Amino acid sequence: MEETAWNKLGAYLKETQILGSIQSTLYWDQNTTMPKEGSNWRAEQLTYIAKKLHKRNSSQEFGDLINSAEVELSTLKDDKKEIKVQNINLLNKEYTRQKKIDPLLVEKLARAKSKGYQNWQQAKLDNDYEIFQPFLKELINLRKEEANQLAEDLSPWETLAQPYEPDLTKSFLNKTFTALKETIPPLLKNVKKRKKEVWDIDPNAQKVLCSMLLDEFGRKKELLSVAESPHPFSITLGPRDFRITTRIVKGEPFSSFLATAHEWGHSIYEQGLPSQTHQWFAWPLGQATSMAVHESQSLFWENRITKSKSFAKSFFKRFSNQGCPHKSYKELWKEMNIFKAGLNRVEADELSYGLHILIRTELEIEMIEGNLDTRDLSYEWNNRYKNLLGVKPLKDSEGCLQDVHWSEGAFGYFPSYLLGHLISAQISTKLENDIGSIEDLIENRSYEKIIFWLNNNVHKYGRTLNSMELVLKVTNLELSSEAFIKYMKNKIRDLD
């Protein structure tokens, strides 16, 4: 390869990406097969790698390589100059951000995240928030210090949200979410009440169904690996190494199935990102643009595909063979789409789901920027659930301890889930205009056609567009709640 400044920068980025993928592999192992007693040493390993990554991403050598490549580009005629300049701009932005952060803070955060995750697991198991509370408080203090060091022209919470959703502001969220806060509760209150059947599927049978689901969607086993973890997630460990996890929840026969569909959506987005050259895995433009777009893809496969009437019809016999008591696919479909306020976000229906996100977003903003002390989180969480959803947790394991995100210091992540619902609905409308109704596509098992459309209209852009630019590019409309509310009203009517 020619020894240009651009290629030197690419080689540096590739080494950084290799180190980052080792970090991700350790995280994968920590969540899937690592024995509990290995947690302290894993914390040391992850802290060490976090320090090394920060050093590489903030080093003078890295800054010089970016600068040299930028100068070189200004003197060359290159048919890919525009995308190269975009890569440089993104690298400069992240380099500036990393330079501002004290390496000691990076080390403290890495340790705090590992310990936070470990103690969150124990607290959830013991149903004892007090175990986790001091670790949450430490993570919040460290993240507030990070926001202070970055000193961006944003509020502290907005600063912490940027890695998940670039350009996100509280004013945009307020404008976008207000309509949902006003619309969802009355819809939920007036929806026809359906009794949830009490039944279950053997854990091994659930695994069989999940495997069938992935095969139906067209997974390539040589690219995608599946495991179990306390909280389902998707992760990419290399250019051709994709992993997802699910979990079996006793008494929730659809939980693992829907979680698998959800994480498949994340993974198929990662698999569809730009990969024109071997270096694209390392360059910024070859990465996902935001977590909201990521969530739009997972929610599309979970809700628009797997919870559809046509899908229930196509999978009914397979569910029956594994112990499902329903007599028809319509019964199966209706139970997969019961709209009822509940306590658990992951198990929530797609109508009430947004209220779970609104509560979490408000709480974390108040913990980061307001006067909400972590000692009062459990009380405040329960109070807001009662006021907004009409239900109240009886124990913290089904309340403020149910999510993994805060135990890993991920403040600013939650809004991506609700934004993902809105993006998914708006993009789905465009998909149906282009290639036909989703119900018909599923009826014809046209999953390859669906993936092809998503690849060419969503995935291929990587980070060339931010989430709001992508929505406008694909749908010719600014993001709003209109498509989502229309979709939900139509679905509620069909279920009646």
Cβ atoms of residues 83 and 43 within 8 Å: no
Taking only the tens place, the pLDDT of each residue in 218-241 is 999 999 999 999 889 999 999 899
Element (H, E) at 241: strand 241-246
> DSSP string of 155-189?
-HHHHHHTTTSTT--HHHHHHHHHHHHHHHHHHHH
pTM, two decimals, is 0.92
The per-residue pLDDT for 197 is 84
The three-state secondary structure class of 239 is coil
The per-residue pLDDT for 277 is 56
Taking only the tens place, the pLDDT of each residue in 286-343 is 999 999 999 999 999 999 999 999 999 999 999 999 999 999 999 999 999 999 999 9
Return the closest-CA partner of residue 245 out of 34, 413, 259, 420: 259
The per-residue pLDDT for 135 is 98
Report the share of the chain in percent with pLDDT over 70.
99
Taking only the tens place, the pLDDT of each residue in 175-191 is 999 889 999 999 998 89
Helix ranges restricted to H, 151-287: 156-161, 170-190, 203-217, 255-271
Domains of the chain from N-terminus onward: 5-151 (no CATH), 170-197+261-495 (1.10.1370.30)
Identify the band that residue 151 occupies on the pLDDT scale cut at 50, 70 and 90.
Answer: confident
Both tokens of 398, joined, read 């089904």
pLDDT, mean over the chain = 94
Provide CB contacts within 8 A for 267, sequence distance 6+.
224, 234, 236, 242, 243, 244
Taking residues 357-368, what's their average pLDDT? 97
Q: How many residues does the chain have?
A: 496
Cβ atoms of residues 334 and 492 within 8 Å: no
Whole-angstrom Cα Rg for the chain? 23
Provide CB contacts within 8 A for 164, sequence distance 6+.
290, 291, 292, 410, 412, 413, 416
Taking residues 103-120, what's their average pLDDT? 95
Identify the band that residue 78 occupies on the pLDDT scale cut at 50, 70 and 90.
Answer: confident
Cβ atoms of residues 239 and 275 within 8 Å: yes
The per-residue pLDDT for 76 is 81
Taking only the tens place, the pLDDT of each residue in 14-67 is 999 999 999 999 999 999 999 999 999 999 999 999 999 999 999 999 999 999
The per-residue pLDDT for 282 is 85
pLDDT at 82 over 70: yes
Identify the band that residue 346 occupies on the pLDDT scale cut at 50, 70 and 90.
Answer: confident
